[in-house]
Amino acid sequence: MTIEFLSLAEGSLAYQRQVGNKNSPGVFFLSGFASDMEGTKPSFLSQRCAAEVIPFIRFDYRGCGRSTGNFADGTIGGWLEDSLAVFDQLTEGPQIVVGSSMGGWLGLLLTQARPERIKALIGIAAAPDFTEDLVWEKLTPTKREDVLRTGVFEQGKAAEDSRPPITLRLIEEARAHLVLRRPLPLTCPVRLLQGMQDQEVPWTHATRLAEHIAQDDVHITFIKNGDHRLSTPQDLELLWDTIGEFVPPSRA
């Protein structure tokens, strides 16, 4: 599929858009931290949506994949701006927002910003507030001093565990976008898929998120042997079944 680019004042965002049946809500995918639109889950959704003629869009945040920018300059606020730009300029009608890990956090923010256009929100190992609760709060005083001094938190040293550093700028800017400090006034259905063997986002994070959503149409599905990626064939079929809850039967 052709990769296109959405021009912004700060650069350009790479995206892939599939048209579909206008009677079906679209599927809007938000990637996780340091991920891009070529990952297993968005690629799977692209194929399934094409087969079922469901509108679908995926894109790369600034500094990720084929979009312009430096990843180290990225912030939650900046990536939210990217998400809103793609949502507003490249989609029409109701959307099923699917957010993976950090994308689940961005999905919560986007859903609050555009509530009238959200058919449903699906979080896959959703990681709202991860910079504060799963990174900063877990650091020892010595590690915090290192981050304050160097401006970065190195997540992994070994080659097999080499992950992008989390910057102090990311952590500090994210505090303006924390969502688990107050009730979340969402009006759309919310579905959370969470692996119980997730080593990055503990399953208790999903229950905490559900408790903060100020409405009752919230379901959590726990996958007992599921990890953070939730990308096995069984996991992907579960994701598709969850999306199918919100599309017309003839398109599911």
SS3 content of the chain, % helix, strand, coil (to 5): 40, 20, 40
Domain range enclosing 91: 4-128+184-242
Catalytic residue among 31, 198, 212, 235: 198
Q: What is the CATH number of the domain that holds 61?
A: 3.40.50.1820
Residue 87: what pLDDT?
98
Residue 252: what pLDDT?
45
Residue 250: what pLDDT?
62
d(CA 197, CA 116) in angstroms, rounded, equals 35
**Mean pLDDT over the full length of the chain:** 95
Task: Give me the residues paired with residue 154 across strands.
Answer: none
Task: Compute CA distances 21 → 40, 49, 52, 191, whole Å.
Answer: 24, 10, 9, 23
Residue 154: what pLDDT?
80
Q: Over 70: is that where the pLDDT of 29 sits?
A: yes
Whether 90 is covered by a domain: the verdict is: yes
60 catalytic per annotation: no
Mean pLDDT of 45-54: 97
Domain count across the chain: 1
Percentage, residues of the chain above pLDDT 90: 92
- The answer to whether the CB of 19 falls within 8 A of the CB of 89 is no
Residue 185: what pLDDT?
96
108-165: pLDDT as tens digits: 999 999 999 999 999 999 999 999 999 999 999 999 999 999 999 987 554 445 678 8
Residue 158: what pLDDT?
44
Structure tokens at 103: 């994308």
- The answer to whether the CB of 147 falls within 8 A of the CB of 153 is yes
Structure tokens at 204: 């208790």
Q: Confidence class of residue 249 from pLDDT cuts 50, 70 and 90?
A: confident
219 catalytic per annotation: no
Residue 157: what pLDDT?
53
Whether 147 is covered by a domain: the verdict is: no
101 catalytic per annotation: yes
Q: Which residue has the tokens 């759309």?
A: 188
Whether 168 is covered by a domain: the verdict is: no
Catalytic residue among 177, 205, 212, 228: 228
Of 108, 102, 172, 100, nearest to 136 by C-alpha is 172
Whether 152 is covered by a domain: the verdict is: no
Task: Compute CA distances 160 → 31, 61, 155, whole Å.
Answer: 22, 24, 12
- The answer to whether the CB of 125 falls within 8 A of the CB of 228 is yes
Residue 248: what pLDDT?
85
109-124: pLDDT as tens digits: 999 999 999 999 999 9
Catalytic residue among 101, 129, 205, 212: 101
d(CA 137, CA 118) in angstroms, rounded, equals 32
205-248: pLDDT as tens digits: 999 999 999 999 999 999 999 999 999 999 999 999 999 999 98
Of 236, 240, 235, 239, nearest to 251 by C-alpha is 240
Coil vs helix vs strand at 15: strand
Whether 44 is covered by a domain: the verdict is: yes
